[in-house]
Amino acid sequence: MPDPFPRRRRLLSFFLLVSGVFALLHLYPGVRLLSDTQLPVGWAAAGWACLGLAVASVPSGFFLVRATGNRLTRALFAFATFWLGAAGILLTATLATDVGRLLFNALQGAPVGAARVHQARVQALLTVGLAVGLTLWALFSAALVLQLRRVTVRLAGLGHGLEGLRIVQISDLHIHRPLDVHFLRRVVRRVNALAPDVVAVTGDLVDGPVSAVRDFIAPLGDLRARFGVYYVTGNHEYYWGGPEWEAEVHRLGLTVLRNTHRVIRDAGSELALGGVPDLQGIRFHPDHACRPDLAFAGAPEGAPRVLLAHQPSAARAAAGAGVHLQLSGHTHGGQIFPFHLLVWLTQPVLSGLRKLFGIWVYTHRGTGTWGPRMRLLASPEIAEITLRAA
């Protein structure tokens, strides 16, 4: 008998796998802070219990907030997202002080007996101090740092009339709470101040259903650009109703590109700007497949093609559709080190301008955050891409 809930079971298996790996990553800092320091049994037991509760808060927080969404579960979710980031930083801090300890011992000789315990306790204090400092910096970077990243891309066939065309890209805003309204207004002001020719919103706009988040993205309707504001879906829209979010974004006045394109013309020059749904769209809706070939069907011959696609890995399909430049997001630039390593396992590029499968791909570091409101070694950005003739 076929499984009636195959997708739900796959998601549950993936969720359990990720939760298990996350729990195991706590063993290394736990041993360094609680076992190697030879704390009294009661203190060590309390420390391991606190660490265990922090680990458990992450899967339970993510699950319960979707199941009930009351004040208590929202508070648990807030702590869970904080600990998701803080745990990664604690792991980084432990590794950094371990390297320092190894180098020190290589030069001075490894201590023994009581001296070794003393060294372990000094390392534990340094680890906690470094973790706290990096966590505060990560919180500051996510809340107050918003870099303007200017990039020039040379495209073959770009006509004189479109020389210097500026596309301002924002991505991965992950709007889902009332406070995000103020953040989005700040982003919109920064974008409009650049007086762009085109604005591109490359997915993962929201984290919530239209009924709950509609009012929080209202400032998006104030975006202005000479040739229009364009939007494509990210994977997170599909977790909350992809077609519904497309309709809401269209209602705000943005042009939704789902396997279609628009032609930008100026002074006799043309450029085809296309967009595709996220690669995961087809898992939720059969008519939301990522099809760059359909996106540029009927595009003017010889006109450069610029594709908006949420994930940089869509470049493999885009190369076969004659695309010259792809604008993507999704990776957040890793958001919090050491999670950069996970991005490298799943995507061909972390951030910035790279040539993939023969086409230029610009991967945006993200304007907002997902999960923890933290950024470490991956500042949020607004990107201004200027097109020049090759």
Domain residue extents for the chain: 6-143, 148-389
Angle, helices 114-144 vs 71-108, to 10°: value is 130
Share of the chain above pLDDT 90, in %: 77
Three-state DSSP at 257 gives coil
CB 273 within 8 A of CB 261: yes
Mean pLDDT score of the chain: 92
C-alpha to C-alpha distance for 87 and 57, rounded to whole angstroms: 12
Indicate the pLDDT class of residue 7, thresholds 50, 70 and 90.
Answer: low
Residue environment code for 238-262, b if the CB has 16+ CB neighbours within 10 A, otherwise e: bbbbbbebbebbeebebbbbbbbbb
186-225 pLDDT per residue, tens:
999 999 999 999 999 999 999 999 999 999 999 999 999 9
At 229, which helix (H) or strand (E)? strand 229-232
φ, ψ at 320 (rounded to 5°): -75, -10
44-93 pLDDT per residue, tens:
999 999 999 999 988 888 888 777 767 888 888 889 999 999 999 999 99
Alpha helices in 33-70 (DSSP H): 41-67
Q: Is the pLDDT of residue 339 over 70?
A: yes
Domain covering 148-389 in this structure, CATH number: 3.60.21.10
Span 2-8, mean pLDDT? 58
Angle, helices 71-108 vs 41-67, to 10°: value is 140
Higher confidence at residue 109 or residue 332?
332
Q: Is the pLDDT of residue 1 over 60?
A: no
Return the structure tokens found at 235: 């994977």
Indicate the pLDDT class of residue 98, thresholds 50, 70 and 90.
Answer: very high
263-321 pLDDT per residue, tens:
999 999 999 999 999 999 999 999 999 999 999 999 999 999 999 999 999 999 999 99
164-186 pLDDT per residue, tens:
999 999 999 999 988 899 999 99
Q: Is the pLDDT of residue 342 over 60?
A: yes
Q: Which of 142-146, 177-181, 361-365 has the highest mean pLDDT?
A: 361-365
Q: Is the pLDDT of residue 2 over 60?
A: no
Which positions ≥6 away from 268 have C-beta within 8 Å? 159, 161
Q: Which of 193, 320, 283 is nearest to 8 (CA)?
A: 283
Span 339-361, mean pLDDT? 91
Burial tier of 149 (Cβ tally within 10 Å: 0-12, 13-18, 19+) = middle
Span 137-165, mean pLDDT? 94
C-alpha to C-alpha distance for 153 and 149, rounded to whole angstroms: 13
